Amino acid sequence: MALTTGTSQALLDAQLELWHTTFAYVKSMALKCALNLRIADAIQLHGGGATLPQIIAKVTLHPSKIPCLRRLMHVLSVTGIFSIQQPADDGGEQVYGLTPVSQLLVGSSNLTPFMTLVLDSLVVSPFLDLGAWFQRELPGPSLFEMKHGQSMWDFINQNSAFCALVDGGMVSDSSFIMDIVIKERGDVFQGISSLVDVAGGLGGAAQAIAKAFPHVNCSVLDLPQVIASAPAITNVKYTAGDMFESIPSANAVFLKWVLHDWGDAECVKILKNCKKSIPPRDAGGKIIILDMVVGGGKSNLKHQETQALFDVHMMIMNGVERDEQGWKKIIFEAGFSDYKIMPILGVRSIIELYP
């Protein structure tokens, strides 16, 4: 079919779509730059609204790049990270403000560490080889291993700076989402006297649960190199171990952003170990999972697109975002009798499993 079939407008609209997707990474890189330069903090320091000279006074950049910063702010504003208020008079300066999006990048429990992890060059660079990865047989090396010569877990184990980046990113996500979980569905923790957060990292989620439900005996299981950096706090107990070997006993097991890291066979192994560590259903035993159920929640385009992007992103470590069928497969294969999906966390869900 000749390229010129169709109206000129239809062709230009199609080209626009193509350009929009092709250049989408520039949007991510502009955000990464804003995080590096701490632009949101600079605006926050000015009470939530700042002109370019006021931002420049607070960030480190070479004076020759000032006009470039204006262009970067343009991208960040048209894409909704910051707002722009036009000057009242001709000679005035535009005022950049925080939007609900950039408000998530400032303050005490902000999401900057998680975004910094996802946009780190160690995480971004493997995706340049996605096409080559598709030509190799599974299981084979993950995208991360193809690029960096080691699985992500081995790399984390041997690189303390990257380990800190991962753990910090996870803690920031946990503080954010657990506030919402506790507010919206705190009932999932009712009636539990003990809970183990399996592969709980530095315990961001366990700490939030322990704070909201002081009667719940909370503990975290993670690998020794992670537990070595655990905070010294009294209301959460930290245990070094391997979830593929055994899991400490508790009323309930919590698994946040763990199963999407693994293929089905590994998930079944983890879930079987979880099942061994909890009492039967009539004694209150259950597994609480916080992860994505593709197709769950709202059905708008941004929601669907974000879930699809997350799924491909998990190829970095041969992980997967599962739809309900995918979840059902591993849940029943691990011997659970029933499950309940609560799609109340935006693109993520809470899933309860009953023995």
CA distance 133 to 128: 10
CA distance 108 to 48: 15
According to the binding rule CB under 6 A, does residue 320 interact with ligand SAM?
A: no
134-153 positions binding ligand SAM, by CB under 6 A: 153
Angle, CA of 219, 225 and 231, to the nearest 5°: 50
- Name the token pair of 19: 């350009």
Task: Spell out the residues 6+ positions from residue 255 whose beta carbon is closer than 8 angstroms to its own.
Answer: 198, 199, 270, 274, 287, 288, 289, 290, 291
Task: Spell out the residues 6+ positions from residue 294 whose beta carbon is closer than 8 angstroms to its own.
Answer: 307, 308, 311, 321, 322, 323, 326
The correct pick among 238, 257, 327, 336 for binding ligand SAM (CB under 6 A) is 257
Shortest distance in whole angstroms from residue 123 CB to ligand SAM:
12
Catalytic residue among 20, 62, 215, 260: 260
Question: Is-contact 145 171, C-beta < 8 A?
Answer: no
Count Cβ atoms within 10 A of the Cβ of residue 243 and give its class: 0-12 exposed, 13-18 middle, 19 or more buried. Answer: buried
The correct pick among 24, 154, 244, 298 for binding ligand SAM (CB under 6 A) is 244
User: Which run of H or of E encompasses 45?
Assistant: helix 39-45
Q: Which stretch binds ligand SAM (CB under 6 A): 74-82, 239-247, 296-304, 337-345?
A: 239-247
According to the binding rule CB under 6 A, does residue 179 interact with ligand SAM?
A: no
Cα–Cα distances in angstroms (integers) from residue 290 to residues 34, 49, 303, 347, in the given order: 29, 36, 17, 11
According to the binding rule CB under 6 A, does residue 243 interact with ligand SAM?
A: yes
Shortest distance in whole angstroms from residue 258 CB to ligand SAM:
5
Shortest distance in whole angstroms from residue 265 CB to ligand SAM:
14
According to the binding rule CB under 6 A, does residue 252 interact with ligand SAM?
A: no
Q: For ligand SAM, how many residues bind (rule: CB under 6 A)?
A: 20
Instruction: Show the binding pattern over residues 211-230: x = contacts ligand SAM (CB under 6 A), - = does not.
Output: ----------xxx--x----
Q: Which stretch binds ligand SAM (CB under 6 A): 26-34, 257-265, 324-332, 344-352?
A: 257-265
The pairing of beta strand 194-198 with beta strand 217-222? parallel
Burial 249-281 (b: 16+ CB within 10 A, else e): ebbbbbbbbbbbbbeeebbbbbbebbbebbeee
Nearest alpha carbon to residue 292 among 249, 265, 325, 321: 321
The correct pick among 43, 111, 170, 236 for binding ligand SAM (CB under 6 A) is 170
According to the binding rule CB under 6 A, does residue 204 interact with ligand SAM?
A: yes
162 versus 257: smaller Cβ distance to ligand SAM: 257
Q: Which stretch binds ligand SAM (CB under 6 A): 33-41, 64-72, 197-205, 347-355?
A: 197-205
41 versus 173: smaller Cβ distance to ligand SAM: 173
The correct pick among 41, 145, 261, 291 for binding ligand SAM (CB under 6 A) is 261
Q: Helix, strand or coil for residue 288? A: strand
Binning the chain into helix, strand and coil, the percentages to the nearest 5 are 50, 15, 30
Question: Is-contact 249 278, C-beta < 8 A?
Answer: yes
Q: Which stretch binds ligand SAM (CB under 6 A): 62-70, 188-196, 210-218, 251-259?
A: 251-259
In the residue annotation, 260 being an active-site residue is answered as: yes
57 versus 228: smaller Cβ distance to ligand SAM: 228
According to the binding rule CB under 6 A, does residue 242 interact with ligand SAM?
A: yes
Q: Indicate which residues carry an active-site annotation.
A: 260
Contact positions vs ligand SAM (CB under 6 A): 153, 170, 173-174, 199-201, 204-205, 221-223, 226, 242-244, 256-258, 261
